[in-house]
Chain A
Amino acid sequence: QKEVEQNSGPLSVPEGAIASLNCTYSDRGSQSFFWYRQYSGKSPELIMFIYSNGDKEDGRFTAQLNKASQYVSLLIRDSQPSDSATYLCAVIKAGNMLTFGGGTRLMVKP
């Protein structure tokens, strides 16, 4: 079992729709959770982090964390073509190491 799992996609949504990206992790001791966006051929950039169970909103982005289910998600409201990218879920487990999932490719169609 991979430590951080994501559906590779592509996830295709129409412009203006809500995109839902999901991530599961295996280590129950994981403490911190991050979402990075990576445009094709570019380096990752941090867009959201969440530490506590529940929802965290930042503009059009909402991160959701459920530690009991070992599940973290990212919702993108009013999706735009410029949101088309690969979204990487990352988790800090015991030992202070950041572990990345394989990423989900999102395509927002005009």
Chain B
Amino acid sequence: NAGVTQTPKFRILKIGQSMTLQCTQDMNHNYMYWYRQDPGMGLKLIYYSVGAGITDKGEVPNGYNVSRSTTEDFPLRLELAAPSQTSVYFCASSPTGVGTGELFFGEGSRLTVL
């Protein structure tokens, strides 16, 4: 079982470049989330989706965009990368939403912006 798959695992960007972090899940979960985790910090919610075609902002959405055209895919777009976006990004999915805390995380994507 693949679960939640994130690509790429590592990426170095120059300031001002753009890129897309891919996230795919094969569990038919409606709920999907993007979090970022800075060193020594907890996770902060960037964007989330409760189903195909529906997305909403989390705590720290500035500088990011998402789309959810299918149940499986939830890509995160970084426009005009800045050093402040250096972080580890986790995609997660859930069958029920965060109410049960049951989140299935991908392995993470480590992004460095120089």
Q: Is A88 within 8 A of B90, CB to CB?
A: no
A96 and B94 CA atoms in complex are apart in Å by: 14
Q: How many residues of A contact B (CB 8 A)?
A: 23
Which residues of chain B are within 8 angstroms of A98 by Cβ–Cβ distance? 45, 98, 101, 103
Interface band, chain B: 20 to 34
Q: How many A-B residue pairs have CB under 8 A?
A: 54
A43 and B6 CA atoms in complex are apart in Å by: 12
Main SS of the interface on chain A? strand
- Indicate with 1 or 0, residue by residue over B49-64, a CB within 8 angstroms of chain A CB atoms: 0000000001100000
Which residues of chain A are within 8 angstroms of B100 by Cβ–Cβ distance? 49
Q: Is B42 within 8 A of A101, CB to CB?
A: yes
Q: How far is the CB of A61 from chain B (nearest CB, A)?
A: 14
Q: Is A92 within 8 A of B98, CB to CB?
A: yes
Which residues of chain A are within 8 angstroms of B103 by Cβ–Cβ distance? 44, 46, 98
A42 and B105 CA atoms in complex are apart in Å by: 10
Asked if A90 is at the interface (CB within 8 A of a chain B CB), the reply is yes
Q: Is A43 within 8 A of B90, CB to CB?
A: yes
